[in-house]
A and B are shown apart, each in its own frame.
Chain A
């Protein structure tokens, strides 16, 4: 292997690695299915899944778009709520002490269990999907923003207070900027959770979305379509995660100056 730093893989190798591993994964799968003659009813080979994806490309695209839309709506709600709650928790010991146990308990509830309640309240449709996405994803944002605020260095706080800065000044000038890396870091986790939330809700209580498509495919025992939907979910998941990662890198470059993981 030719590399600039001895013992470390070169840039080109690092860039190629994800493709090599992904293609290799599907190749092994295909070969195993053929060699062991596994029934497509149990585990379809990637070629059968690709065929199903092509055959159902219209519905897959339509339902993916719907799921994406539900996810983004729930995620947007979670960002706004998470930021406000996080700032409140990080800025006030009282709010933190008072609400934290409740938040933790709420976060611990599996959100599948909440879907039936949402259906009773709002009926089958977009509301359960958006709300489940929201409920499942706001917690990491709250915790991260609050942590960023609560860990202001006491000396920086002293410098600010000695100048006569109010609590709001300190939050605006120091607390919020310093919690931004935590915030953007949490967005990567939150959007993936929101995505899980909307798919769960669609599976149980919707007429659209990948979740719903999978529910119907599974009722029809259409295993290749089921897997095609799974692949679509995976691809969409990678795309939204990557979008958040790029956003994070763009906005908080100052926080990523370590060379630790080269």
Chain B
């Protein structure tokens, strides 16, 4: 099976010159897989996201998504960031509908089939525990609730690829673990390939099938680790020795990456 997302020998420098943010990056993620990227701050994790979604184009190497070389924003992806980036003048529900106002074929159907799409948005809100919050404005929600809404917005148009850039970075430990489960269930309930960028090794091991460790800038892959913990995973799994061993192993890679930087 050919990978769904593949970066091959990718080097990218912002502005086209100067020291590269990532160099000789090679990663491949299969369809339906949950991949995580971990690495020290500033190593180019967000840059990998932008390369894989066609927001940036590499100076060298090749980026292939869904069998096609990326030459423009890929349109089959949904994104969520550390900062929920909801639009404050729209209600939560209208924020969720935003991707449908852009992406075809929804864009031309939205006006006539609005009820159907609103029902879809309500169902998603319910799935992440935001039932009945659609009429509220984002600034009337807590940080964790906004982040849930932002996840819904990333999924509303049923993308094949979900890109999460430290989506839980700003949340407290309890909320974060709650949202791990939300993501886990969303991933299990639909055929979506997920790439998650995170600082949190436990988060990566709990959620991912495959973890990439990056070196400090210029970023490259220093280790790739498959996680074979059985699914569905329960939060209890994070206290097993098998889980903790994987976290330790990754920690050693990151520590090594930081000292050699």
Contacts and interface: CB of A to CB of B under 8 A. Distances in A.
Contacts of A162: 53-55, 73-75, 77-79, 163
- Among B74, B77, B98, chain A packs the most CB atoms within 10 A around the CB of B98
A155 B55 CA distance: 11
Nearest to B98: A173
A158 B102 contact: no
A161 B73 contact: yes
Contacts of B148: none
A193 B153 CA distance: 43
Interface string B23-52: 000000000000000000000000000100
Contacts of B102: 160, 163-165, 169, 173
Nearest to A166: B102
A158 B55 contact: yes
A177 interface: yes
B141 interface: no
A257 to B, nearest CB: 6
A155 B79 CA distance: 10
Contacts of A155: 81, 83, 85
B85 A159 contact: yes
Contacts of A161: 55, 73
B18 to A, nearest CB: 19
A32 interface: no
Contact of A254 (B74, B75, B89): B89
Interface string B84-105: 0101110000000011011110
A156 B75 contact: no
Contacts of B53: 158, 162
A63 interface: no
Interface residues of A, number: 21
A176 to B, nearest CB: 10
B103 A153 contact: no
Interface in A159-197: 159-165, 169, 173-174, 177-178, 180
Nearest to B103: A163
B243 interface: no
Please report whether the interface of chain B is mostly helix, strand, loop or mixed according to DSSP: loop
B89 A173 contact: no
Nearest to B91: A254
B121 to A, nearest CB: 16
A194 B74 CA distance: 48
A255 B73 contact: no
Interface string A211-245: 00000000000000000000000000000000000
Contacts of A174: 87
Given A163-B157, A164-B102, A164-B103, A156 B85 contact: yes
A42 B247 CA distance: 86
Contacts of A180: 89
Contacts of B4: none
A181 B139 CA distance: 16
Contact of A156 (B74, B87, B104, B157): B87
A254 B75 CA distance: 30
A91 B102 CA distance: 19
A22 to B, nearest CB: 36
Contact of A158 (B50, B98, B101): B50
B180 interface: no
A177 B153 CA distance: 19
Contacts of A159: 79, 81, 85, 153
A161 B137 CA distance: 23
Nearest to A170: B102
A165 B78 CA distance: 13
Nearest to B52: A162
Given A162-B55, A163-B99, A254-B88, 11 more contacts: A153-B85, A155-B81, A158-B55, A159-B79, A160-B102, A169-B101, A177-B87, A252-B89, A254-B89, A255-B89, A257-B139
14 contacts: A153-B83, A156-B87, A158-B53, A158-B55, A159-B79, A163-B75, A164-B73, A164-B75, A164-B104, A169-B101, A177-B87, A178-B89, A180-B89, A255-B89
